[in-house]
Chains A and B, each alone.
Chain A
Amino acid sequence: MPSFVSENLLVLLIAVPFLGILAVVLARRDQWARYLAMASSLVSLALSLALWQAFDPTVPGMQFVQRTAWMPTFNVEFAVGLDGLSMLLVLLTTILTPLSVLASWSSITTKVKAYLSLILLVEGAMLLVFTAMDAFLFFMLWEVTMVPMYFMIVVWGGPKRIAAGLKFVLYSLTGSLLLLVGLLGLHLQAGDTFDIQAMAAATIDEDAQHWIFLALFLGFAIKLPMVPFHSWLPDAHSEAPTAGSVILAGILLKMGGYGFLRFCLPILPEVSAIYSKYILWASIVAILYGGCLALAQSDLKKLIAYSSISHMGFVTLGIFAFNEEGIQGSILQMFTHGVTTGALFLAAGLLYDRTHDRQIASYGGLHRPMPRFAVFFCIFCVASFALPGTANFMGEFLVLVGTSYGSLLMVVLSMGGIVLAAGYMLWTFQRVVLGRPASSVAASLPDMTPREIATLLPLAVIVFVVGVFPAPLVETMAATVAQIVERAGNVALLAVPGG
């Protein structure tokens, strides 16, 4: 029934992962569960591509809107919809999920069904977070994403998994509570509604705005994470199993940036503009601090994790630059960072599968035993430091252009982050792939299997295609971003630091 499908694309997209969980749980053998999880995530991908096809980039507001009363007494609705911002993050989520499933194909051997259903649960929850039009729904699913991540870390993680998992939960819960307080404040101020669009339209008391903004900001900043709220991230990323790291770094962090763009900027533009000066400087600190710490790491996954902190600095830098270039750059950066960092974690994961060793110093000279790996790793390393021609460059360049309206000094400083990134990435590449192997184990590692190639190849293609043809992605979000800027722009100009 094509008409039914085409009319309910978004709801179907959201429902598929949950149906997938059901199928996976009911599967009798682990292998079947793998195929079912794969099938479900591929269906999601197909649906999100169909949505993207049907998406009208000229409409700034929500499309494919579906509303149902959920808890009418509390004014809570089950309302979902897509705009340009959501569209890209939905695409990112559905692209990375099948690859995560594929990456855990043979590396996860215990409690396979539980693991796969957790992956699908995160996917479903993330899709709802990115499409929710109701703040209560948003918050509920925001919380739900934390649970599967916690279990993925704690049950299938590395040697220090319990401490890492607990730290993740404690930070996340602190963040969520702040977020809850902020959302409740908004709910009251906006006149007893949880509808995000109604919140944006309401006038909110000046004094309350400050406190609501701070609560929301801290909630999102912990998730993103911004320095100094980041210390959960390196542990969680490095202890999580491969798929966990991919989802965590690739998709979950983007909830923070999404939150800024969905709540802070449209609903509280005046206060956002007031605080933007401090946030911009905090972003610069994050870019440089994350880069420096990545330079000092000896653990491959931790290095990638710290590089994420640095790259997320660009996201906040662009968002709080308050102009189209900056915000589009941030969204593009979120998308491309998801792709490249996801790919880097996949690459690190396939090394870990072979040796159960994350130390950079244990490798070396991999170009000889693993030539295919060398090629892929090289692609994602150079993409990670935003080499022009790869996807990440466009995002960072737009962010820099956006920042240049405010302060040229910030542009120069944040470019220092790109140099640092080139430094730690190429140095890592040199230590892992070039030179002579550090041990006989490293000298005789088997090269990538076809399944592993299938995991990384799509991401490599995206890296190059978006690097050379970013227009389709940029067009998708252009109208939405223009609307956000229009709404926030006038007030923002007053507060952006001059220079």
Chain B
Amino acid sequence: MLPYALIPGLPLAAFLFLALAGGSISDRAHRIGIPAVGGSFVLSVAGLVRVALHGPLEITVYELLQVGGLRIEVGLWLDQLAAVVLVMVTGVSFIVHVYSARYMIGDPRYRRFFALIGLFTGAMALLVLSNNLLVTYMCWELMGICSYLLISHWAGRLPAARAATKSFLVNAVADVGLGFGVVLAFATYGTLDIREILAQAASMSGETVSLLGLEIGRNTLITLCLLSGAMGKSAQLPMHVWLPYAMEAPTPVSALIHAATMVNAGPFLLIRLSPLVMLAPSAMVAIAVVGAATALYGALVSLTQSDIKRLLAYSTISQIGFMVFACGVGAFTAAVFHLVAHGFLKGFLFLSTGNALWQAGHGHGPAMDGRSGSRRLAMGALVLACIPPLLLFAGPYEQLWTAQHSEGARAAFWCIALLAVFTTASYTYRAVQRLFSPRVGGAAPQLFAVNKIPAVALMTLGAAALMLPLWSRFTEFLGPAVGQGGPPPRATGISTALSVAVATALAGWFLAHARNRRPAANPVGQRRWAMRLYVLFLNQLYIDELHRASVVRPLLRMAAWLRDHVEEIFLEQVLLRAGVVRLALRLSDGMRRSVEGAVVEGAIQGLARFAVGVSGWEYRILDLRGVDSAVERATQAARASGRELQRREPRTVRSNLLIAVCGLVLVIGLAYWWIAA
């Protein structure tokens, strides 16, 4: 069914066309990009319907590689999971495209911008559809470079350039894990076809692999590798540092990164390989811990941020943390719900931010003022605040929560999750409040001033997505594509867990609302510990600085040390002067003993003599004592050694060979004078 291959194909074709087209198209680039992504959105919806009616679909595009036992086919696997996620990806991307056509107007790199967001969308769509781990990895990296190029869109700004490099490099470090996982998966299963891997995974449960003396289960290690990749791309602790910096990108790109593409790739990968993940319980604990820690950390930090875009960045970190957490406890369908709903709603928030910033003309949200926002906005915040508890604690998953392995772990998960829900509700309220409340000393901004329709569309879609978890058939629909953990899901209903979680969220929302009505001059009051804590979270726990001090600077310092000491002193002088000579003598000695006959004798003597000469000359050159005279002496010495050899040895075959070599030196010397003089 080739038409579905056009889902990634259309945006990629748009990219190619825009990249190769000359400057003449520059102002009309959106006329290529929008229909292409629109087309792939329509096809995605058609694909969803097709899958819902007739089941999954496989499409083989072409064979990429066939080496030894390694065979890579670029193929698409459109199943329930891919279909659902694709609708969200192409939908948000389409709206971002429409939005950007206005937002980026007049930009000197308009064409480049549209080409790259097309590539970005195409890469994500292909990643979602890919049925081969290597192709997944390729798309994964392709998105990395897209984000690099888009973050540095305003290339003249040094912060943007630095942010771009930083975000790519943090991802590159994390991707070592994923790349290793791909290689290890091939070594383990002998194939990179995702479905074959999943089919074989169960039989590999007992297999272990030794790394650095540790025996690790193969499935566990592969899952941890996937987690490492997900930690980078999806900005999980402690690899999250790049995401706040990525705000240097134009706002539509932020919407794309946070809602449709990039950060969703991590949870998606874990969900895609969920049957494998389920087989590695210890790795699942790691996933859950990373997710929970990130969710909490992101929520706490975003409570303290004053820059609206940074606030949203940490909120994304926190929300993706929830998704990863859900994967870690085996609630993969919940993660899908969350992924889709968060995609639409974050897209809405970013496009609105773009509108607000467009009006405000600067990147910082206004200070809180005493007037409250409209009631409608407060209600909007309430809806947003309830997403995480609704998704995570809704009926089907309650059992997952109660079915944790140990009492302590269960309690810890509950505490972290509820705390995160609470803070999420608070900061969501703050974010919405800031975006839409009347400004200090200015007119109240219109809700969707610049580009109303896209934002409204996203809000509607997001609200529609919110209905998903309550629709019990959805779990059944996704069931075949996703690994299931724990006992089978039971019917949806209002349970104790859900009520507790929603109540916590409401409490958080109410607290923020109350604070907003009675603003204090100081956000945390006068207590010393509270202020310290506030500053700590305001600076994101100094993790960024920690990275710089523990990785970046030592690495650069080591590189400089290697350059100044090892390379200069050790290699240039010691090794060449002593090493080469000794090496040559050892070698000639060994040769003489094992290779019979005196035939090579001449060659060996020449070699030794030559090596001594080499080190002598080199020594002089490095001392920079008369380079030219060294050249002269070299030629003379070569000539002399040639004569010497002729005198000593009869003109045998073998000495002729030697003379040929020495003659070359001679030729070089002579020709040097001829050409240079």
Which of A's residues lie within 8 Å of B, judged by CB?
73-74, 111, 114, 140, 143, 146-147, 150-151, 154-155, 162-163, 166-167, 169-170, 173-174, 176-178, 180-181, 184-185, 188-189, 205, 207-208, 210-212, 214-215, 218, 228, 230-231, 289, 292-293, 295-297, 323-325, 328-329, 365, 367-368, 374, 378, 382, 387-389, 393-394, 397-398, 400-401, 404-405, 408-409, 411-412, 415-416, 418-419, 422-423, 426-427, 429-430, 433-436, 468-471, 474-475, 478, 499
Contact = CB atoms under 8 A, between A and B. Distances in A.
A426 B580 contact: no
A208 B563 CA distance: 38
Interface stretch (B63-71, B251-259, B288-296, B300-308): B63-71
B595 A228 contact: no
Contacts of B209: 408
B134 interface: yes
A-B complex: 10 closest residue pairs judged by Cβ atoms = A434-B161, A388-B138, A324-B68, A296-B559, A296-B563, A295-B559, A422-B172, A388-B141, A367-B155, A207-B594
Contacts of B617: 166, 170
Given A147-B664, A162-B631, A181-B591, A325 B67 contact: yes
Contacts of A423: 169, 172
A178 B607 contact: yes
A170 B618 contact: yes
Nearest to B589: A211
Given A404-B186, A409-B211, A478-B67, A174 B172 contact: no
A295 B556 contact: yes
Nearest to B663: A143
B165 A430 contact: yes
A422 B66 contact: no
Contact of B169 (A177, A184, A419): A419
Interface stretch (B43-51, B399-407, B571-579): B571-579
A222 B599 CA distance: 25
Given A184-B654, A411-B184, A419-B173, 5 more contacts: A374-B155, A394-B65, A401-B187, A415-B180, A422-B169
B231 interface: no
B349 to A, nearest CB: 29
B657 A180 contact: yes
A150 B635 CA distance: 14
A75 B597 CA distance: 19
A162 B161 CA distance: 39
Given A174-B611, A188-B599, A295-B555, A404 B184 contact: yes
A368 B168 CA distance: 22
Contacts of B162: 430
B630 A166 contact: yes
Contacts of A155: 675-676
B448 interface: no
B594 A211 contact: yes
Contact of B155 (A173, A427, A435): A435
Nearest to A396: B179
B600 interface: yes
B269 interface: no
B68 A325 contact: yes
Nearest to A297: B563
18 contacts: A147-B668, A163-B624, A174-B580, A174-B611, A177-B661, A188-B595, A218-B587, A324-B67, A324-B68, A388-B139, A404-B184, A411-B180, A419-B176, A423-B172, A426-B164, A434-B161, A435-B157, A499-B210
A387 B141 contact: yes
Nearest to A431: B161
A390 B537 CA distance: 41
A166 B675 CA distance: 15
A205 B597 CA distance: 14
A292 B559 contact: yes
A55 to B, nearest CB: 18
A472 B80 CA distance: 35
Contacts of A111: 675
Interface string B577-608: 00110011001101100111101100110110
A303 to B, nearest CB: 11
A148 to B, nearest CB: 10
Given A211-B594, A293-B559, A393 B63 contact: no
B621 A167 contact: yes
Interface of B: 63-70, 134, 137-142, 145, 148-149, 152, 155-158, 160-162, 164-165, 168-169, 172-173, 176, 179-180, 183-184, 186-187, 209-212, 555-556, 558-560, 562-563, 567, 571-572, 575-576, 579-580, 583-584, 587-588, 590-591, 594-597, 599-600, 603-604, 606-607, 610-611, 614, 617-618, 621, 624, 627-628, 630-631, 634, 653-654, 657-658, 660-661, 664-665, 667-668, 671-672, 675-676
Contacts of A146: 664
A471 B64 contact: yes
B406 to A, nearest CB: 31
Nearest to A378: B149
A435 B162 CA distance: 9
A184 B165 contact: no
B595 A212 contact: yes
A397 B618 contact: no
A479 to B, nearest CB: 12
Contacts of B180: 408, 411-412, 415
A174 B618 CA distance: 12
B181 to A, nearest CB: 11
B172 A418 contact: yes
Contacts of B148: 426
A361 B440 CA distance: 44
A154 B588 CA distance: 32
B67 A151 contact: no
Contacts of A73: 653
A419 B580 CA distance: 33
A140 B173 CA distance: 46
Nearest to B63: A471
A218 B583 contact: yes
B604 A181 contact: yes
Contact of A426 (B165, B631, B660): B165
Contacts of B65: 394, 398, 470-471, 474
Contacts of B563: 293, 296-297
A14 to B, nearest CB: 20
B668 A150 contact: yes
Given A296-B563, A404-B183, A435-B156, A418 B576 contact: no
Contacts of A412: 176, 180, 211
B661 A180 contact: yes
Contact of B212 (A409, A416, A427, A435): A409
A408 B211 contact: yes
A279 to B, nearest CB: 16
Contacts of A397: 134, 183
Given A147-B664, A415-B176, A296 B155 contact: no
A147 B630 CA distance: 18
A295 B169 CA distance: 13
Contact of B70 (A184, A325, A387, A430): A325
Contacts of A470: 64-65
A360 to B, nearest CB: 14
B172 A211 contact: no
Nearest to A365: B156
Given A368-B156, A430-B165, A471-B63, A388 B603 contact: no
A73 to B, nearest CB: 8
Nearest to A164: B621
Contact of B607 (A181, A211, A295, A378): A181
B604 to A, nearest CB: 7
Contacts of A214: 587, 590
B621 A163 contact: yes
B606 A177 contact: yes
Nearest to A222: B580
Contact of A162 (B140, B610, B628, B664): B628
Given A185-B595, A397-B134, A435 B158 contact: yes
Contact of A185 (B70, B149, B172, B600): B600
